[in-house]
Amino acid sequence: MVQITDVKDGQVREARTAAHTHIKGLGLDEKGVAKRIEGGFVGQSDAREACGIIVDLIKSKRMSGRAILLAGPPGTGKTALALAISQELGPKVPFCPIVGSELYSAEVKKTAALMENFRRAIGLRIKETKEVYEGEVIELTPEETENPLGGYGKTISHVIVGLKTAKGTKNLRLDPSIYESIQKERVTIGDVIYIEANTGTVKRVGRSDAYATEYDLEAEEYVPLPKGEVHKKKEIVQDVTLHDLDVANARPQGGQDVLSMMGQLLKPKKTEITDKLRTEVNKVVSKYIDQGVAELIPGVLFVDEVNMLDMEIFTYLNKALESSIAPLVVLASNRGLTTVRGADDDIQAPHGCPPDLIDRLLIVRTLSYTQEEVRAILGKRATLEGLVVTPPALDRLAEHGVNTSLRYSVQLLSPAGILAKTSGRQEITLDDVEECEVLFLDSRRSIQVLEQATGFIEARN
């Protein structure tokens, strides 16, 4: 019988808590109506329901090449909504989040960096029928031979692999390079694997269910014994992005001579992929789609702080949206009327976007949270971080969330938890929150200090 013991506090693996760890989805019911508190969200019912409709449009493949704008004050959940959209779409749909300033810090031109992220957000599901050897491993014997270079060591000349299916068994004599792939996949006797006949690629599917009673407890995925013959034709599904295809075709295939290797070392870390190459890749992709070999999966490109973009990028964005292969573009902005960067005149535009782009957008508005909603959000964050907060302390933090910012209140939780633990208490009290207020300034009090100071910041009694 297996001995089971409790995990001690020192053995618990700490998981990093990020800003949006608590977001699990849009929190809609089966009719698409937002629940008040669900999926990590509190409030923002209209915005969540609008995003739910957008998710349905993406799933029905009627939203590619369009763009939406999430507009609202800071700390109202714009990034959380974009993340929830990606979670609702599932892990197989590409989701590429960037910030507006990233396009300027890239090693290539900003328009090329934008198109690169565009292509990252478009997936291609390739279905290939390949000739494979599939079965449960019943023998795995590497055959050694004397090292041809001399010395005392030996090298593997070939490996004998025995595979078993429901219909029979077959022994294969494989190349030493395939044995390296077998070692990387950590294949042992009793595993179900398949080996591609053309490329020699080895893929471990799981452990044969005949070994399911080998251990009382085991973190292993058991699969049934494959049916049919060992040598068969199998449909392999592979998910890639268009950017992966661009990079694979742009990378030069140099030889193994010294000059080729030196050329690869000296070449820049990042090369710009030309529009001509992308056009050729698109032609091949369209051909595969027409033949039924591949399926296009438009994903989501999320661009935060869209007001950081300039006229050149906006113009290129308009062109990219009109392309026959384009993802859904989700923009986010917390600005109202502001000047468009790079514009010849100083005319202010809504959200920092030129009027021709605004006309293309579906705008989803996020609203500021009420004190009750802020209190509920702080309660969820406290639970996520493993903190216990007393009602008076939670009320005080909720007041800060309304009067200053939600982010400031959330940031006070962890320091208050440390103060409570230092004082030998399990709960965060009002005294802990008030002490954190003295230790950490919010933006408004910091501005007041700067307005009173002349030159250097001086301590005032």
Question: Could you read off the pLDDT tens digit of each residue along the chain, which spans 461 residues?
Answer: 444 444 444 433 344 556 676 777 888 888 888 888 887 788 888 999 999 998 888 888 777 667 899 998 888 888 888 888 888 888 778 888 889 888 887 778 888 888 889 999 888 888 877 888 889 998 888 888 776 666 566 777 888 889 989 888 888 888 888 888 888 888 888 888 888 887 888 888 888 888 777 665 555 678 888 888 888 887 777 888 888 888 888 765 554 444 444 444 445 555 668 888 888 888 888 888 888 888 888 888 899 889 888 888 998 888 888 887 788 899 999 888 888 888 877 778 888 888 888 888 889 999 888 889 889 889 888 888 888 999 999 999 999 888 888 888 988 998 999 999 999 988 999 999 999 989 998 888 888 888 777 666 555 54
Looking at the 3D structure of the chain, how many domains does it have? 3
Q: Which amino acid is at 36?
A: R
d(CA 171, CA 140): 10
Tokens in use for 116? 């690169």
The CATH number that applies at residue 106 is 3.40.50.300
Task: Mark out the alpha helices in 185-297 (DSSP H runs).
Answer: 242-250, 258-266, 275-291
Same domain, 117 and 127: no
d(CA 374, CA 413): 13
Tokens in use for 236? 């392999």
Do residues 371 and 402 lie in contact, with contact meaning Cβ atoms separated by under 8 Å? yes
Q: Are strands 169-174 and 154-164 parallel, antiparallel or unpaired?
A: antiparallel
Same domain, 137 and 245: yes
Ordered DSSP codes for 383-425:
HHTT-EE-HHHHHHHHHHHHHT-HHHHHHHHHHHHHHHHHTT-
Same domain, 268 and 393: no
Residue 364: helix, strand or coil by DSSP? Answer: strand
d(CA 193, CA 170): 13
On whether residue 424 sits in a domain, the answer given is: yes
DSSP assignment, residue 450? H
Same domain, 264 and 153: yes
On whether residue 411 sits in a domain, the answer given is: yes
d(CA 395, CA 371): 9
On whether residue 15 sits in a domain, the answer given is: no
Q: Report the 10 Å Cβ neighbour count for 142.
A: 15
Tokens in use for 69? 């704008």
Tokens in use for 403? 């009067």
CA-nearest of 23, 21, 51, 50 to 37 is 23
What separation in angstroms does the CA of 177 have from each of 52, 180, 185, 237, 427? 49, 5, 13, 24, 59
d(CA 136, CA 163): 5
Give residue 397's domain range: 371-452
Which of 14-21's residues contact partners 24+ apart within 8 Å by CB, and which partners? Answer: 17/384, 17/385, 19/79, 20/79, 20/80, 20/83, 21/384
Same domain, 289 and 181: yes
d(CA 16, CA 10): 16
The radius of gyration computed from the CA coordinates of the chain, to the nearest angstrom, equals: 29
Task: Give the residue from 293, 321, 339 where a domain finishes.
Answer: 293
Strands (DSSP E) found in 147-262: 154-164, 169-174, 191-196, 202-208, 222-223, 231-241
The CATH number that applies at residue 389 is 1.10.8.60
Vertex 77: Cα angle to 76 and 83 (nearest 5): 170
The CATH number that applies at residue 200 is 2.40.50.360
SS3 content of the chain, % helix, strand, coil (to 5): 40, 25, 35
d(CA 99, CA 326): 19
